[in-house]
Structure formats: structure tokens, C-alpha cells
Amino acid sequence: MPEAPQAEHFPGSSAYAVPSLVKDLVDQFDRPLDFLRELAQNSIDAGSNRIDVSLEYVQDPAAARALDLPPPAPGGGYAVIRVEDDGEGMDERTIDDYLLVLFRSTKEEDFTKIGKFGIGFVSVLALRPERVRVHTCRSGESWRLDFPDYKSYEKFLVPELREGTLVELVKVLPRESYAELAAQARAALVFWCKHSEARIYFRDRSSGEPASCVTEPFDLPGGASLRYEEEGTEILFGFTAEEKPFCGFYNRGLTLKEARQVLIPGVELKVKSRYIEHTLTRDNVLEDANYGKLMKRLKRAARSELSDKLRKDLEDIALRLSRLNGAPSKETQALEEAWRRRLPFLRWLFAGYFSRWKRSDWAIFPGLCGRVYSLKAVRKAAGDAGRRVFFDSAPNNVTKGLQSLGVPVLIPGQWVELAAAWASARAEPASQAFILPRVLPEEGLPGAHREFLQALRRLDADSGAKYRGILAADFNTPGSSIQGRLFTVQEKPGSLSAADQAPVSSLFLLPRARRWALLHAGHPAFTRLCRLHAAEPGLAAYLCLKIMRLHDGEVPHGKMSRYCNLAEKAELRLLQAALRAAPSAGHSADGTARAEHDLRAGPGGRR
């Protein structure tokens, strides 16, 4: 039987020309397992479609001998790490001229390749292995290289042909440390290679688990809002409310840098480009001319394509929120959160008056009853409403009245203060700013109510006619801010009017300034006064009108001493008219006269 062909040995004295320099380079890798990234990078550059990374723990002496290793010490063993690919491999020229020469790479000036510094393979020594063995084959040549340390190597021409390259590291390791090493190796592989263009599989053979794929689609954690692509470059944009958004840079899917920093406010992003590279220390992106061009491209895309996407998203969110009328629900919460995530980028995009003017037609502010509003509409309405922007929690008579007049009423949310600030206005609840009482038809009121209202009108007319008329109304409409009031006054009864309308002074009653008084028919005081009217008509009317006049009218500021006597005379006329209207059965005409005399005596008599 013919003998099996033997490997031909080509001894090498020194792996690299300057061993001390190699040691310095090895020491720069402060995370030893990062060598997995370097090997994956070499495999991808070699055209690999699949890369298999495996670990196993070897304690059995026979298994150690099969790996050309001495038997392990009692209680100890070897951790064996293998990285195998199906790429084009290396021939002797590639090995001698590039693998074993620092700072030289076959990938220089080739933007389809990742590593260009020629020092990636040195990283395998960062783990301080007992041995590194490389099996590779190309152009009919099959080679094995053994590195016992960073100072020397041995090279063998072997007869067995293989596909691709296998790198095997052996490290003496206590059994109790192996599980941690395997977990760290997988974590390093996921961090550096999760978006690799080649499929990468990881397997811990000692655990008995099958191999699992660690690569995943190129995407943002919450999904990309926009994908921007051009030759050699792909950029993913996502909206976020994080103060420091996530950003990641990748070359052919391998991580160059992942961090949290503001490149574009309110935007998280991932950039995969063949034009960007890592620094010599492998811990950052090289900020060269290509990086500068990429940053300009990012800003351009943010102000154009991403800006268009923001408008579409916010207009859709605003419309859906407006149809829900802000009613609490899971859908409402999700839409509000989606609006919140887009707010920081919106602020950045709308920074400056010209930027807001240019985009003032975006209908992004959700209003009640299915309506959405642009900044232009909000700004115009605020100017007509005393620099106010209105909002309310639910549709009601007031909000519907305002919207029928073309006044925007927003749903409560983070957009309200934003719209108010951009419109140079203040935000105010619509139902606090306006009233819209419902006037009750007199013929539908109970008889006692009608009689009391008629008595009030006569008494008001006899004492100076402060009001143009007195009517009953319903203040208990949804969202009404005057449900607790006994009365209100309006220029036109039952109309939409300001809740903070300045009262008309009781001291100067010109006919054109008189308003209508509306009494809340559902107020408990109104009900009690109606019952009192049946027994003491004059007293009930007097008490009611006195309440109304005390709360409707004021002495001009700083004029109290000048006009207080006149105000007392107005009250005197009111009480005199009340006494004349209905003297009680137990009083004579002389008693009425005496009461009027006491009133004229001044405040003491009145009390």
C-alpha cells in the first residue's frame, strides 16, 4: 500500500521583521475576542458566503493528540476556537507577501474590501493562545501555518486540498472559565458581525447545541422610517425622542462604530458604506474625506427625503388622532407616542422663522371632530383671537361653535404648546375661554319659574333697568365652564361669547351698553328663590337682583371713594322698588314708609 503523502516543511525564523512592534500591536487590542471580527472581515474580503465559528473544550488526552497537542494537565484542558470560511483562500505568494508582512494588504485602494491596514491577522495573538494554526488552499496549493507565538512560525505545504481557510486557536483554560469564554465569544461576534454580508454561524460544541446564525437583517431596532440608498451606501433613518440617539457605522455589514451621539437631532441611524473605514485602533470610524462627504449626504437626505417622510407621518398621525377626538385608548396612546418620537426632529427642522414659514402648510396639528390644522391656520386664528391657541379634551358646544367659525381647536397634547410657541400665542382651553349657554323657551318653563322671571324684569325696570332683559338658560352643557354659576350676561343671549368678558359698570348704564342677563334654571339657588317668591315675591326678586348686581359691575379702579355713595343710592333704589312691589301681609303702609326712611339713613339703617 503506498504511503500517504507527507507535508513538506518550510521553517520560518521570525513571523515578522520587528517582533517588538508585533507585541505592541497585539497589546492594542484591549478586548482579545475582537479578533473574531478581523477574521470575519478577512473571510468576507475573500468572497466567503458562509463563515462558521465554533468553540469546544478538550480534556481527553486522545482528543488532544489528534490536535497535535500534549495531554492537558490534570483537571485542566484546552479551549479550541475555530473560524472556517468558504472563500478563495491563500497561496504561498499571498501568505509570504501579505499575511506575514505588517502594514501591507491586498485590499489597498479597493473599496469593495474592508480591511486595508494589513494588521488584522495579528489580532489572533491578543488572546495569548498557546498555538495558532492556519489551514488554507488556493490555486491547487494547500498550506498549513503554525504560530506558537508572535515571534515565529512554521509553514507546511500539505497534500490535502481544501476549500477556503480555517484558523484554529488553542488556549489553556480551566474548565470553569470555558462557559464564560464561549458566551463572550458569541457576544463579540454578534456585536461586530450581526449585519455581515456573509452568513455567520456560531456553535459551542461542548454544550451540545446546534449551530445558530448570528447575522440579522440590516435594520434599526424599532424599524427604519426611511431607507436611503445610492451606489455603495445605504442609510437607515428612524425617529426617536432620545436625547442622544443611536448611530451605527458599518462596512459590508461589519461594525465600525456604534454609539449614542447627536448627528441629527431626533434621528437614530445606521450607515453601511464601502467608502468608510475603521481607524488603526479599530475602535472608531476614520474621519477622512469620504466620511465628510457621507455626513453632508446625511444632512441633505434629512432635509429632503426624511423631511418629506416626517410630513407624511405627522399628517397621518394627526388625522387619526383627530378622528379619535383624543379619547383615551391604546390606539390614542400609540399615536401620541409616535408623534412624541418625531418631535425632536420636527423642532430641528422648524428651527428659525424661515424654516417654519416654508413648511407652514403642513397639516400636522390634530384638532377635534376629525379636523387637522397647519401652522399657517393656527397662526392666523391666534392673531384674530388675542394671541391665543385653543384646545379642549372633547367636543362640546363651545368647540363646535368655534370650529363653525373657522377657529382651530386642538386636541390636548405636546403639539399644543409647540403650536402656541410658533404662533407667538398662549394656549388656553376653549371651554374656559368661551361660554355658550342654551336659552330655555319661556313657554316650556314651570309656572313658578315664569312668574319669578317676570317679577325680576319688573323690579329691574323699576330700579333703573340695568339689563335689556332677563331669561332662563341651561348652563349644564358638556364642557361648560359656568355650570356652577347662578347667572351670566351676554350681548346676544345664547351666543358664543368670551367667558372673561369685562362686566359693565353699574354706575354708567347707557342703553346701548345694557346686556341680557341669563339665569341658570338648574342652579339650586334659582330653585330656592322661585320657592321663596311664592311667599315673599318682593324679597325673592330683591335678593336675586342684588346677587346679580354685586357680581356684575364694578367701581372704576382708584375711584372707590368718589363713587361708593352713588352705588349705595343704586342699591337703595333697588330695595325701594322691591318693597313697593310686594309689601308683606303683616306690614302697613306706614311700616313700609318707615323702612324706606331707615334706608335713607345710610348703611347703618340698612343693616
3-class SS of residue 565? helix
pLDDT confidence of residue 350: 96
pLDDT of residue 12: 57
Q: What is the pLDDT of residues 60-69, one digit of tens each?
A: 999 999 999 9
Summarised one tens digit per residue, pLDDT across range 238-290 is 999 999 999 999 999 999 999 999 999 999 999 999 999 888 777 789 999 99
Most confident range (mean pLDDT) of 42-46, 228-232, 303-307 is 303-307
User: According to the model, what pLDDT value does residue 503 have?
Assistant: 56
In this structure, the chain runs to a length of 607
State residue 396's pLDDT score. Answer: 93
Instruction: Return d(Cα 52, Cα 191) in angstroms, integer.
Output: 16
Report pLDDT for 74.
Answer: 87
At residue 390, what are phi and psi to the nearest 5 degrees? Answer: -100, 145
Q: Output the pTM of the full model.
A: 0.79
Distance (Å) of CA 145 to CA 21, 81, 155, 496, 605: 21, 16, 5, 91, 121
**Mean per-residue pLDDT for 544-561?**
67
Residue 94 has pLDDT above 50, yes or no: yes
Cell 314708609, located at residue: 593
For residue 211, give the C-alpha cell. Answer: 449551530
Residue 29's pLDDT is what? 64
Average pLDDT for 354-380? 96
Does position 556 have pLDDT exceeding 60, yes or no?
no
Q: What are phi and psi of 579, to 5 degrees?
A: -65, -35
Task: Determine the Cα–Cα distance for residues 97 and 74; give it in Å rounded to an integer.
Answer: 42
Provide the pairing of β-strand 226-230 with 233-239.
antiparallel
In this structure, whether the domain defined by 8-213 belongs to CATH 3.20.20.80 is answered with no
Mean per-residue pLDDT over the chain, rounded: 85
pLDDT in tens, 126-146: 889 999 999 999 988 999 999
Residue 379 DSSP SS3? helix
Q: What is the mean pLDDT of residues 416-436?
A: 95
Give the burial class of 266: count Cβ atoms within 10 A of its Cβ; 0-12 exposed, 13-18 middle, 19 or more buried.
buried
Q: What is the pLDDT of residue 361?
A: 97
Mean pLDDT, range 206-231, rounded to an integer = 94
- pLDDT range class, residue 102, cuts 50, 70, 90: low
User: Cα 54 to the chain's mean position, in Å?
Assistant: 41
Mapping DSSP to helix (H, G, I), strand (E, B) and coil, where does residue 553 land? Answer: coil
Question: Looking only at Cα atoms, what is the longest distance across the chain?
Answer: 153
Q: What average pLDDT does the segment 19-48 reach?
A: 78
What is the per-residue pLDDT for 453? 96
So where are the chain's domains?
8-213, 226-302, 307-435, 438-606
3-state secondary structure of 78: strand
Give the three-state DSSP class for 369: coil
